[in-house]
């Protein structure tokens, strides 16, 4: 059995079948006023994150979405409008809707435009947290297109030379079809996303050196110091020596292509989903490979590049060369068979949400 995931995860986790998790999320959202189709989009996005092993963007996010909907920060009946458009582009106003609903609409539009004109660029403003960036780029790859997805996000990262949380972790994702599993890069432009630190905090463990600074700008392994006034570091780390200015620049690139270009805002002013006017902005692009090269040839070239990569000489400390997205697909294959491991604390939280919203419990604790 070619299984990537360890088969006996931490005993603090409970495995939940995908379908049960999906229908639970749908029920919760429907019960607080989200239309069925929209609830299914959000559930699909959160469950995909958990399936792929990105638990920071999985169902543990539901709590914040519920809070945002209850506080009025998220509009469950958004009037998503196309403000401007041409054959290859559009500007969309998300009307403070759920980020996944806005994102799916906007990426769908980009794909439609790319189908007709070769290229589709759609920018959405006035949205909310949209989950994993790769969800949208994959939509394009499933249609034999190259998909690109980026979003700004609330400030957590210090720019090179600064100590304030100014930049978002502003992820960039690109997906491209192959004859096998798609190539899927989905990366925060910080060294790690904040979700990784939350995992260390929960476990009470020190974080690796180099990920973050405290409020005095010192690199720290103390995760509590980071949460109380510190900041994440951009890809490349502190200062310019190892390229910290590059991660910082990529983060700004995302802000330029999302908030600045859309008439929205930049990460420093982006709020939490729980708040009104969080003002998250997204960028989506679809490239119809067939307008440049026959799609079968494109995929064959992708296959060839990837197999050459994997056959190239290994580093003595590594057993294999991974290609982007591969670990996520293997994890998904395992989890579809065995269920998705959900942290006991998250189970408790979800059960509570289920009870509060009349959706029932996800699983009995100790199941």
Quick one: DSSP state of residue 235?
T
Residue of 129, 179, 317, 324 marked catalytic:
129
Closest to 285 measured CA to CA, from 157, 169, 119: 119
Containing 200, the helix (H) or strand (E) segment is helix 194-203
Number of residues that bind its own copies (CB under 8 A): 83
Minimum distance from residue 282 beta carbon to its own copies (Å)? 13
Containing 93, the helix (H) or strand (E) segment is strand 89-93
Q: Are the C-beta atoms of 216 and 228 separated by less than 8 Å?
A: no
From the list 70-78, 93-101, 220-228, 294-302, the region that binds its own copies by CB under 8 A is 294-302
Distance CA 299, CA 320 (A): 22
Applying CB under 8 A, does 179 fall inside the site for its own copies?
A: no
Minimum distance from residue 310 beta carbon to its own copies (Å)? 9
Minimum distance from residue 354 beta carbon to its own copies (Å)? 36
Applying CB under 8 A, does 33 fall inside the site for its own copies?
A: no
Closest to 116 measured CA to CA, from 84, 89, 154, 150: 89
Minimum distance from residue 173 beta carbon to its own copies (Å)? 10
Applying CB under 8 A, does 257 fall inside the site for its own copies?
A: yes
Minimum distance from residue 132 beta carbon to its own copies (Å)? 15
Applying CB under 8 A, does 181 fall inside the site for its own copies?
A: no
Applying CB under 8 A, does 136 fall inside the site for its own copies?
A: no
Judged by beta carbon, residue 6 or residue 315, the one nearer its own copies is: 315
Written as one string, the DSSP assignment of 110-133 is HHHHHHHHSEEEEEEEEE---S-T
| Residue window 87-126: x/- pattern of binding to its own copies, with contact defined by CB under 8 A | xxx-x-------------------------xxx-x-x---
Residue 179 catalytic?
no
User: 297 in the Ramachandran plot: left (φ > 0), alpha (ψ -120 to 50) or beta?
Assistant: alpha
Applying CB under 8 A, does 245 fall inside the site for its own copies?
A: yes
Q: Which of 3, 71, 293, 307 binds its own copies (CB under 8 A)?
A: 293
Q: Are the C-beta atoms of 271 and 284 separated by less than 8 Å?
A: no
Distance CA 251, CA 326 (A): 24
Distance CA 167, CA 251 (A): 7
**Which residues inside 200-229 make contact with its own copies, applying CB under 8 A?**
208, 210-211, 216-217
From the list 30-38, 70-78, 95-103, 233-241, the region that binds its own copies by CB under 8 A is 233-241
Q: 285 - beta bridge partners?
A: 121, 148
Q: Which of 255, 274, 279, 281 binds its own copies (CB under 8 A)?
A: 255
Minimum distance from residue 63 beta carbon to its own copies (Å)? 28
CA 352 remoteness from chain centre: 25
**Which residues inside 71-90 make contact with its own copies, applying CB under 8 A?**
84, 86-89
Which positions are catalytic? 129
């Amino acid at each position: 059995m070619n299984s990537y995931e360890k088969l006996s995860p931490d005993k603090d986790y409970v495995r939940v079948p995908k379908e049960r998790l999906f229908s639970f999320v749908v029920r919760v959202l429907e019960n607080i006023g989200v239309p069925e189709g929209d609830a299914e989009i959000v559930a699909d996005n959160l469950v995909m994150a958990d399936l792929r092993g990105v638990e920071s963007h999985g169902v543990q996010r539901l709590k914040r979405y519920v809070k945002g909907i209850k506080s009025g920060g998220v509009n469950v009946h958004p009037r998503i409008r196309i403000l401007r458009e041409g054959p290859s582009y559009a500007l969309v106003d998300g009307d403070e809707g759920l980020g996944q609903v806005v994102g799916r609409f906007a990426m769908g539009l980009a794909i439609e435009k790319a189908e007709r004109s070769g290229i589709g660029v759609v920018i959405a403003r006035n949205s909310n947290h949209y989950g994993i960036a790769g969800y949208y780029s994959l939509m394009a790859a499933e249609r034999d297109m190259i998909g690109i997805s980026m979003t700004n996000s609330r400030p957590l990262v210090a720019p090179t030379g600064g100590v304030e949380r100014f930049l978002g972790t502003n992820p960039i994702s690109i997906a491209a079809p192959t004859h096998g599993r798609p190539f899927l890069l989905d990366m925060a432009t910080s060294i790690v996303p904040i979700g990784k630190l939350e995992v260390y905090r929960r476990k009470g463990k020190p974080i690796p050196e180099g990920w973050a600074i405290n409020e005095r700008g010192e690199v720290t392994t103390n995760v509590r110091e980071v949460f109380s006034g510190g900041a994440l570091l951009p890809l490349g780390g502190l200062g310019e020596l190892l390229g910290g200015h590059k991660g910082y620049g990529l983060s700004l690139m995302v802000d330029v292509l999302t908030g600045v270009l859309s008439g929205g805002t930049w990460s420093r002013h982006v709020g939490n989903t729980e708040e009104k006017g969080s003002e998250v902005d997204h960028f989506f692009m679809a490239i119809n490979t067939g307008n440049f090269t026959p799609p079968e040839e494109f995929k064959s070239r992708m296959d060839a590049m990837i197999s050459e990569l994997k056959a190239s000489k290994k580093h003595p400390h590594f057993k294999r060369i991974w290609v982007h997205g591969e670990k996520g697909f293997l994890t998904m294959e395992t989890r579809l068979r065995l269920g998705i491991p959900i942290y006991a604390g998250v189970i408790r939280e979800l059960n509570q949400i289920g009870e509060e919203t009349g959706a029932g419990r996800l699983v009995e604790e100790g199941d």
